[in-house]
Amino acid sequence: MTLEGSVPRPLWTVASPVPDDVVAALGMPRLWAQVLYNRGIQDAETAQDLLDATQNALHDPFLFDDMDIAVRRILQAIRDGETIGVFGDFDTDGVTATVLLYESLRALGGTAIAHIPHRVRDGHGLNIDAVNDMRSRGATLVITVDCGITSVEEVRAAKELGMEVILTDHHAPLTGLPDAYAVVTPRRAVDAYPFPFLTGAGIAFKLVQALHQVQETEVSEGALELAALGTVADMAPLLGENRALATLGLAELRRTKRPGMLALLEAAHTTSASLDHESIPFVIAPRLNAAGRMDTADLSFDMLTAPDMDTARELAAQVEQLNQQRRELTGTLVKEGVEQASQQVKGESLIFLASEEFEPGVSGLVAGRLVERFYRPAIVVSIDGDIARASGRSIPEFNLGEALASCEELFHRFGGHPAAAGFVADKSNLEAIKDRLQALAREQLKDIALEPTLKIDAQVDFKDVLGETYKFLRSLAPFGQEHPAPSFLARNVEVTDLRQMGTEGQHMRLTLRQSGAKWDAVAFNQRWPEGLSMPGNSNGQNSNMPPIDVVYIPEINNFNGRSTMQFRLLDLRASEG
């Protein structure tokens, strides 16, 4: 729920009770077993695997097809003094993957250069200008990270210039693979690698892990923190090996010595010691992404590789300024987008907006906010002369990547995932693209109620998530895609105090009372629901106000050196008893 009246009311669904035999098999309190059961865990061994996200959870990198071929070629290049070009991408996953491999190659004694494309001028993926640039800088071997799986022509051009190319990418190939020296990806049909959901930074880490394994040396300091940043920022499923990378990397981030990271956190008014699983998507990644959205991702690369704090602080100040500009521009364009989409959603299941006013650097963010507001897939198109650049976001019920594939002949290029995708096309094709995508959405979503679902682990009173239960819940962190933080339903709650927070009053701080005990609560991006009686007088008390039900996540609030329990409210409504 965001601003009042802006989002369809979510449907609350409480998980089915955990069976008695599963509780016995897990050997733990019923509430703990319920939380694990909701995540598909039904035995003690699987539960232990989840809780022990350590180095033992990292698979052998040589299970990748072509990993041995790639490692031999890279070590040969290092021995022979060849220049190795690392080509990345402009988002956090791409930038961190580039830094990870670039630093690791240099630590192994190699000569490495890096090239990150410009979001608008170059777009995603290997491009001919970059190939020529790296060749002119002496590269004889190019390694892509977070891209390249669809770059058939670009790989051919590199080979014609006398370069060999190793592709590492987590995106799905469209048809055949490029004729590269080696292709390291968990997404090819014949690949034996046991975990298919690694990100670009995750695969870059596996390549580095393999190089060090052969050299019988330790992985470069700081590699895990970069892998964690890319994994969490790219919204990869935080399961299996991704969970291990995120857990180990977060631990490394909390003790980081990287000047660029320390400077970024300093500019954001936080510290490395206070980092948790939410710090990456809400603090670090938006700033790293802002450089690529508003200017060039080279700024983020330079900041992360800065040799000292003075250099890092100067770059972090620029990144912080760009992030502020990004926030302001996004807010303005969201308002414009909402006005246009409000009419379109009356007859369409997919929002398609195109304008010269939309900026390509933030169009994906605008699309995401429209999805939150209207619970429809949304595509936002930035028009520049005869060229249209689009970014889209979607809902679980509609695979946006597959939808774009059905329009392939109308694009210059396209790509993405089920939940996020984009394209570049001629402006003259926009109406045909819009008509086809909206027709597809009407057909696929015609029998589906377009309303979000709020999944709840169990009905639990506030007092029952304290102590050892809270410690257990926190042991399940880090949380993220497909591994959400446990949330609970509390009924018959009184509101004894309510205060609006934020520059526009977009947040609420509440004091709640249940069974005589008072509790602190916070609700971000929420205002009091329309139609629900509001706390009446100046101190927030209203004896006639009916109780409410809330969905909440228990958490610790660290403020001014004090740590107190508070409940983060995901939704609230009039009590059902």
More confident residue, 9 or 284: 284
Q: Which amino acid is at 395?
A: I
CA–CA gap between residue 192 and residue 64 (Å, rounded): 6
**Collapsed DSSP state (helix, strand, coil) of residue 171:** coil
**Residue 381, phi then psi, degrees to nearest 5:** -115, 130
**Residue 180, phi then psi, degrees to nearest 5:** -90, 165
Q: Which of 214, 236, 252 is the last residue of a domain?
A: 252
Query: Which residues form the domain of 465?
Result: 11-15+453-574
CA–CA gap between residue 334 and residue 322 (Å, rounded): 18
Interval 343-354: pLDDT, tens: 999 899 999 999
Q: Which two tokens stand for residue 126?
A: 């290997």
CATH value at residue 525: 2.40.50.460
**Collapsed DSSP state (helix, strand, coil) of residue 501:** strand
CATH value at residue 236: 3.90.1640.30
226 and 287 share one domain: no
498 and 570 share one domain: yes
Report how far Cα 300 is from the mean position of its chain's Cα atoms: 17
When pLDDT is cut at 50, 70 and 90, the band that residue 8 belongs to is: low
* End-to-end Cα, the chain, rounded Å: 22
> For the chain, how big is the Rg over CA atoms in Å?
25
224 and 294 share one domain: no
pTM across the whole model: 0.91
Domain assignment present for 302: yes
CATH value at residue 383: 3.10.310.30
Report how far Cα 213 is from the mean position of its chain's Cα atoms: 29
156 and 301 share one domain: no
Interval 203-218: pLDDT, tens: 999 999 999 999 999 9
Domain assignment present for 233: yes
Tell me the mean pLDDT in the region 40-56.
87
246 and 260 share one domain: no
323 and 373 share one domain: no
CA–CA gap between residue 114 and residue 409 (Å, rounded): 32
SS3 content of the chain, % helix, strand, coil (to 5): 40, 20, 35
| Cβ contact 156:128 at 8 Å | no
Q: Which of 304, 312, 313, 359 is nearest to 337 (CA)?
A: 359
179 and 325 share one domain: no
Tell me the mean pLDDT in the region 153-162.
96
CA–CA gap between residue 204 and residue 93 (Å, rounded): 10
Domain assignment present for 35: no
| Cβ contact 322:294 at 8 Å | yes
CA–CA gap between residue 418 and residue 404 (Å, rounded): 10
Mean pLDDT lowest among 9-13, 438-442, 503-507? 503-507
What residues contact 539, with CB distance under 8 A and at least 6 apart?
Answer: 497
Interval 395-429: pLDDT, tens: 999 999 999 999 999 999 888 788 899 999 999 99
- The answer on pLDDT for 4 being more than 50 is no
Q: Which of 252, 271, 294 is the last residue of a domain?
A: 252
Q: Which two tokens stand for residue 165?
A: 């190319």
- The answer on pLDDT for 5 being more than 60 is no
- The answer on pLDDT for 536 being more than 60 is no
CA 545 vs CA 285, 372, 508, 532, 548: distances in Å:
41, 30, 18, 9, 9
**Most distant CA pair in the chain, distance:** 81
Q: Which of 228, 252, 276 is the last residue of a domain?
A: 252
Average pLDDT of every residue of the chain: 92
More confident residue, 532 or 169: 169
| Cβ contact 407:436 at 8 Å | yes
Q: Which of 353, 297, 355 is nearest to 322 (CA)?
A: 297
How do strand 488-501 and strand 507-514 relate by DSSP bridges? Answer: antiparallel
Domain assignment present for 335: no
CA–CA gap between residue 156 and residue 179 (Å, rounded): 7
Enumerate the β-bridge partners of residue 446.
none
- The answer on pLDDT for 539 being more than 50 is no
Interval 165-214: pLDDT, tens: 999 999 888 778 899 999 999 987 666 789 999 999 999 999 999 999 99
Q: Which two tokens stand for residue 114?
A: 């890096």
386 and 357 share one domain: yes
> Helix/strand/coil (H, E, C) string of 42-101?
CCHHHHHHHHCCCHHHCCCHHHCCCHHHHHHHHHHHHHHCCEEEEECCCCHHHHHHHHHH
Domain assignment present for 220: yes
Domain assignment present for 5: no
CA 99 vs CA 265, 278, 300, 302: distances in Å:
18, 22, 10, 9
pLDDT at 191: 62
CA–CA gap between residue 435 and residue 439 (Å, rounded): 6
How many structural domains are present in the chain?
4
372 and 262 share one domain: no
Domain assignment present for 92: yes
Residue 344: its H or E element: helix 309-344
283 and 213 share one domain: no
Residue 223: its H or E element: helix 223-233
Q: Which of 16, 318, 71 is nearest to 210 (CA)?
A: 71
Domain assignment present for 391: yes
219 and 208 share one domain: yes
pLDDT at 232: 94
| Cβ contact 88:130 at 8 Å | no
134 and 216 share one domain: yes
